[in-house]
Structure 1
């Protein structure tokens, strides 16, 4: 007898699994908010240099229009729009003359924005770009903050994978939720960019723990036959979070209010997490059969399965004898590459994950280049992702994993390549191609998540999930730099 048979006796597809799934929907929904938050909280608004004539009303000459003041104060930039990073040292009054030409001034007449910037606040009342002037010579700090966030997921994937294996899934899940809630809320009040990036790193560190622990508990309490549906539902909840983020950001135009709104719910998730049982499989492997038996009987009671009364410690230990012996052998993530069979699976899986994620995040983190209404774009991306991920379950019934994964990755790549050939002025066509590509990515990513869980044995599944998170973080950093 294997653990899957023990789980069947306790009820592998009953009320308990439904409650467990509903519990994990909320954290999966909220995680998307943090990952994509800087599409809005770090949005780059229109900006220009602060100038005495334009922005100090007491010195504005009479009978001079705002357009004329802009002409004599700010030099033209690309496409003859006002330059965003330079201003005239002195007002160029000669440019007011209708017959003035570009030869009426030169680069020597301009200087950087020494007195700061004036920002367009029609879309957002405040962003971190406005707060810390992450424009012009400091514009490289904006993508750096997102890369630091993804580095937190990278480091967290290493640490939480080890801790959840040694200390248990449930305590690590609860601690990760609390850490995310505290760090995310603290980010709202960050006085400097350095502290902001540090708190974002800690938040991402916690999010990695939530993902790994929740995935481990969900997989280990779900029978193999229902695993694909369960993982797809969780994936769809993540996509729903992407769509909801567009609406929340539309309602909350201040980055601090938005940051607070996406962080406080994790305090509730922390409290909810305490009802969850520990993984019975992990308890048996760690030599705690008494607790494992209690958890299995609790699940059986919730599911209404009376067969669990026949379960005893002797039955548990005899059925798990081989897996317990295997778990006592020295193991690490390097087993993915040392064992020939695992190496043959791991290398293609890692390459596929990286190519998929670097393209996906290059798309979803670049909303401003696709159109002006980034709120609508975010909602469309999330809605298409839900459709794509929900379709995966149907596709898996008719097509193989490899066919779906390869086919939809090719389709997503073609959408992105086609988008590069579309002129910037054809915004509608560019958005359509981007949304179709996002849907294809959703199908590919859901299929890959299910495929990985089926390809690798339980003893190394944590390593493969952590590898996926690391690939995600590295992919995002490669997108920025």
Structure 2
């Protein structure tokens, strides 16, 4: 906790820190919309096959004044399992006799159908044009929409490798990083700058090189040993911790991004639902902070993840006619995703030792992005069952709620600075359990 002592001298949460947070928020505001953009640009509107007698303006086969559009649709397009016009097939020939059956089909041989050979007609009351209507990414080609999202998410997986080397540091360097990388003078300058911005008077006198070196002595000694990527897996407790954190981010990324990427598939007003889920982020974040600080990190994440899984399964169980109930459930799901992310991010950062946190977060981020990239591929299963992808998302939510229970609680615990701190914590916890077991035995 040596560097924490220096932060106390410059002000824990003042103008300097607030400006840093504001700059990061600007970055997130520009980046976050890209995740949900395809709910609008790649929306799948209602559609049916193009048929000659309905959609050819020059058709003169029938007198349009005699038959209604519903009649023409009835003889041209078969019904699906839900007794609605099929989206992907049409009759080979118009079925004129359907006009005289009065709803009785039992004695009629099922007529031949064919795919939409001449294209589709799209419902354009909500979206005038999307990438789906532009390139006919429906029916047999609908899988290409999921593949394009998969390719986009692969960019998220590759980006951190490239961005880490190419990005310029437009935010001030971390004072701690400067000090432990043998640039104490620059680190001292950053600390004094933060103190001045936070209104801490006499910072020149209280923050000196001697104070920095004395306060950071243990961290400077630990920094002489440069941690490598393989050090994440060299010791047993840290190795186990990294594995569980990777599993946690992989499992929880699938339902969170599955919900965000495919909100349009929930058959509700996507504009309204997007606004409601975004608005729910504010109370969800406050609720997450309250529970994380009062009942701990592990139980809170368990609760948030199970709430997310239950709400996802409840959405697909609710009838499409129950739009108000579905809207409430979708809003609850959106709030749960923000709460889960808040808990995950806090718990992960508190479990990783400072000296190797950047590398550890990189490895955990890769596991997260693998889950994100796989998310669109599950939606391909909707071709067989509309509920199947959402059931999978719900199951992964439950799994993501169980993983934190295998990790140590970090509420009111000091942050580990070194790998040895993690190993000592594990040994101390194990020794305490053994002593407790001995006490229980000897008490009898």
TM-score (norm 2): 0.74
Gaps of 5+ in 2: 379-444
CA contact (8 A) 1:75 1:82 kept: yes
Which residue in the other structure is 1:207 paired with?
Answer: none
CA contact (8 A) 2:11 2:195 kept: yes
Distance 2:238 2:337 in 1: 25
Distance 1:438 1:55 in 2: 40
Distance 1:300 1:67 in 2: 74
For the structure 1 residues 90 and 411, does the alpha-carbon distance in structure 2 shift closer, same or farther, using more than 3 Å as the test?
Answer: closer
Query: Once the two structures are superposed, what CA deviation does each residue of 1:18-38 show, in whole Å capped at 9, x if it has no partner?
Result: 122222222223332111111
Which residue in the other structure is 2:50 paired with?
Answer: 50
CA contact (8 A) 1:358 1:478 kept: yes
Shift in Å, 1:447: 1.6
Q: Does 1:138 align with 2:141?
A: yes
Which residue in the other structure is 2:91 paired with?
Answer: 88
Which residue in the other structure is 2:325 paired with?
Answer: 429
Shift in Å, 1:475: 2.5
Q: Does 1:297 align with 2:192?
A: yes
Distance 1:420 1:77 in 2: 19
Question: What's the secondary structure of 1:48's corresponding residue?
Answer: strand
For the structure 1 residues 469 and 54, does the alpha-carbon distance in structure 2 shift closer, same or farther, using more than 3 Å as the test?
Answer: farther
Shift in Å, 1:388: 1.4
Distance 1:159 1:394 in 2: 37
For the structure 1 residues 148 and 425, does the alpha-carbon distance in structure 2 shift closer, same or farther, using more than 3 Å as the test?
Answer: same
Q: 1:474 aligns with which of 370, 383, 386?
A: 370
Shift in Å, 1:146: 1.9
Which residue in the other structure is 2:418 paired with?
Answer: none
Which residue in the other structure is 2:17 paired with?
Answer: 17
Shift in Å, 1:47: 0.8
Which residue in the other structure is 1:213 paired with?
Answer: none
Question: What's the secondary structure of 2:121's corresponding residue?
Answer: strand
For the structure 1 residues 468 and 373, does the alpha-carbon distance in structure 2 shift closer, same or farther, using more than 3 Å as the test?
Answer: farther
Question: What's the secondary structure of 2:114's corresponding residue?
Answer: strand
Distance 1:360 1:374 in 2: 17
Shift in Å, 1:136: 0.7
Which residue in the other structure is 1:348 paired with?
Answer: 244
CA contact (8 A) 2:242 2:364 kept: no
For the structure 1 residues 76 and 396, does the alpha-carbon distance in structure 2 shift closer, same or farther, using more than 3 Å as the test?
Answer: closer
Distance 1:308 1:159 in 2: 39
Query: Once the two structures are superposed, what CA deviation does each residue of 1:1-33 show, in whole Å capped at 9, x if it has no partner?
Result: 832233333333211111222222222233321
Which entry has the higher C-alpha Rg, 1 or 2?
A: 2
Query: Once the two structures are superposed, what CA deviation does each residue of 1:334-379 show, in whole Å capped at 9, x if it has no partner?
Result: 4333222322422332333333322333333342443421222222
Distance 1:282 1:136 in 2: 54
Which residue in the other structure is 2:34 paired with?
Answer: 34
Moved more, 383-392 or 435-444: 435-444
Q: 1:150 aligns with which of 144, 150, 153?
A: 153
Which residue in the other structure is 2:356 paired with?
Answer: 460
CA contact (8 A) 1:297 1:308 kept: yes
Query: Once the two structures are superposed, what CA deviation does each residue of 1:54-82 show, in whole Å capped at 9, x if it has no partner?
Result: 22212243324322332333233332322
Question: What's the secondary structure of 2:257's corresponding residue?
Answer: helix
Question: What's the secondary structure of 2:125's corresponding residue?
Answer: coil
Which residue in the other structure is 1:403 paired with?
Answer: 299
The root-mean-square deviation of aligned C-alpha atoms, in Å, is 2.9
Shift in Å, 1:467: 4.0
For the structure 1 residues 133 and 333, does the alpha-carbon distance in structure 2 shift closer, same or farther, using more than 3 Å as the test?
Answer: farther
TM-score (norm 1): 0.69
Bigger helix fraction: 1
Number of equivalenced pairs: 372
Question: What's the secondary structure of 1:76's corresponding residue?
Answer: coil
CA contact (8 A) 1:381 1:438 kept: yes
Shift in Å, 1:137: 0.8
Q: Which aligned pairs between 1:190-339 and structure 2 lie closer than 5 A? A: 274=170, 276-310=171-205, 311-313=207-209, 315-317=211-213, 319-327=215-223, 329-339=225-235
Which residue in the other structure is 1:78 paired with?
Answer: 81
Shift in Å, 1:320: 3.9
CA contact (8 A) 2:267 2:320 kept: no
Shift in Å, 1:105: 6.6
